[in-house]
Amino acid sequence: MIISLVGFRGSGKSSVALLLASELEMEFIDTDTEIEQREHRSIPEIFANQGEKQFRILEAAIIKSVYQRNDLIVATGGGAVLNPQTQKLIHDKGPVIWLQADAATTVGRIQKDQSDGLPRPALTDLSLEQEVIALLQQREPIYKSVSDFQIDTVGKSLEQIVEQIIQCLEGYDRSSE
């Protein structure tokens, strides 16, 4: 079984996965970190040198290999679930949790990460605000359809989010779907 966290940039997937992994005493994998380690480059460098299309190919391949394993918590990149094979892989492997946040909160978190020296490559030619609004509109139906649980992260501490996830997992039974 793999517990997957999905959601847009800035939804807190990596920080939540880290704390959840320590609470559940499970191993945690961040697919972006896996990609960076295998490519020996940062995500912005991969986007700049190879482009988004190549990044998506690398991302799908890494996810395919990670999802051959078991007993993991995986934080997926915000665009990973655009790939239909990835959608199936993560859904088939266990519970999927969608961490939600509204556009304004998401923009604020991305800007904070940027000022903390954690830049993310642009995904469109739009302003950050417009990009977040447009992509959330495009991706939310996908996050919704692939997930078993949806958690609104706005105004909650990491600890509160993790507690809520643990409660959801206690009631998790795919066979009743």
Binding site for ligand S3P (CB under 6 A): 9, 13, 32, 43, 77-79, 120-121, 123
SS3 97: strand
Is 32 or 148 the residue whose CB approaches ligand S3P more closely? 32
Is 43 or 101 the residue whose CB approaches ligand S3P more closely? 43
Q: How far is the CB of 120 from ligand S3P (least distance, A)?
A: 5
Helix%, strand%, coil% for the chain, nearest 5 = 60, 10, 30
Is 118 or 167 the residue whose CB approaches ligand S3P more closely? 118
Question: Residue 78 burial (CB < 10 Å; 0-12/13-18/19+)?
Answer: buried
Q: How far is the CB of 176 from ligand S3P (least distance, A)?
A: 30
In one-letter notation, the amino acid at residue 99 is L
Token pair, residue 176, equals 């009743």
For helices 103-115 and 128-146, angle between their N-to-C axes, nearest 10 degrees: 120
Is 78 or 94 the residue whose CB approaches ligand S3P more closely? 78
Q: How far is the CB of 124 from ligand S3P (least distance, A)?
A: 10
Half-sphere exposure of 76 (CA within 13 A, CB side): 35
Q: How far is the CB of 175 from ligand S3P (least distance, A)?
A: 30
